Amino acid sequence: MDISYKKLWLMLVERNITPATLRKDLNIATGTMTKLRRNEEVALSVLLRICGYLGCNIGDICDAVIIKDFSPNHQFETLDSASMGEK
């Protein structure tokens, strides 16, 4: 299982907020921003600060993804409410 922050980057573009502005306004370490860009795990507290800043829920900025193929050409499937049996 991996994480994708694609929704975060799209939301920032929609709101005309640069990653540098986000980093400065929330005092996010440059290493943490690198992890976000690389779709690596970051502390939940960081994600919650971002959500507070953007006025959204955590699911609005990230997705859990299932790795179907462990070859160098990973294929990702996004988990959503329907696939998890939620209504």
Average pLDDT in the 7-24 region?
97
Which pLDDT score is estimated for 66?
A: 86
* Domain ranges within the chain, ordered by starting residue: 2-78
H or E element at residue 78? strand 76-78
Could you tell me which of 27, 45, 28 has the C-alpha nearest to residue 37?
A: 28
Is the separation of the CB atoms in 42 and 60 below 8 Å?
Answer: no
H-run or E-run covering 2: strand 2-4
Structure tokens at 61: 């900025």
pLDDT in tens, 22-43: 999 999 999 999 999 999 999 9
Q: Does domain 2-78 have CATH number 3.50.50.60?
A: no
